[in-house]
Amino acid sequence: MSAAPIEPFEPLGQQVGPWTEADYFAMGESRSRIELLDGSLIVSPAPSKRHQLVSWNLVDSLRPAVRPHGLLVFEAVNVRLGANRIVIPDVVVADTDDEGTVIEAGEVRLVCEIVSPGNAAADRLVKMQLYAIARIAWYLLMEQDGDSHSLRLHRLDGGHYVEDRVAKAGERLSITEPFRWALDPATLRRGDPKSPGER
């Protein structure tokens, strides 16, 4: 006798009315990226291989820089921006421990999104506004420029972000706040078959 097929998103079809945090966390883990914004679910497919490679290399670069400050780096973790607002940024640097399932916005020191064609508007507009409203001091955007990448660091100024500095491939983005760190965005493609020998 064969087993019945598993319905991976069965809870999504049964929900009536706005979603709450309790509903959201009752779904458990998913292969897709599901975020909760003001009672609605935003579902994105799993990131591409290149996106994941860039994220992994970014985390690898950040960890030694943040460790002396007692900070931790996370990939694709739940961040609570407010009531019924749970987002999953690509990379988060936070003053928190490794327990639980959620990082509070007040614990976040820097949040990073890796922009791809499918999420560009969300990362450059919607997420930027939500992070500013949640008072996250630093927002890093990893932009894809053709076959290379650039880093755009934004600083919270009052209620909105201003661009603090930019580095294209071959340049170094250097910061001293919220920790000391420098990176050439070209190094984030290490391991890409089109970029042999960069490792």
Strands 85-87 and 108-114: unpaired
Residue 57 sits at φ, ψ, to 5 deg, of -70, -35
Backbone phi, psi, residue 131, to 5°: -65, -35
What is the reported pLDDT for 116?
A: 75
pLDDT digits (tens, 9 = 90+) for 55-65: 999 999 999 99
Domain 47-189 homologous superfamily, CATH: tt1808, chain A (3.90.1570.10)
pTM of the model: 0.84
The chain-wide mean pLDDT, for the chain, equals 84
> Does position 159 have pLDDT exceeding 60, yes or no?
yes
The residue type of 140 is L
pLDDT at 190 over 80: no
Could you report the per-residue pLDDT of 107-131, keeping only the tens digit for each?
999 999 998 766 666 667 789 999 9
The yes-or-no verdict on residue 9 having pLDDT over 70 is no
Query: In the predicted model, is pLDDT for residue 50 greater than 70?
Result: yes
Query: Given a cut of 80, is residue 5 above it in pLDDT?
Result: no
- Asked if 101 contacts 78 with a C-beta cutoff of 8 angstroms, the reply is yes
* pLDDT value at residue 13: 53
Q: Which residues of 140-175 are buried (b: 16+ CB within 10 A; e: fewer)?
A: bbbbbeeeebbbbbbebeeeebeebeebbbeeebeb
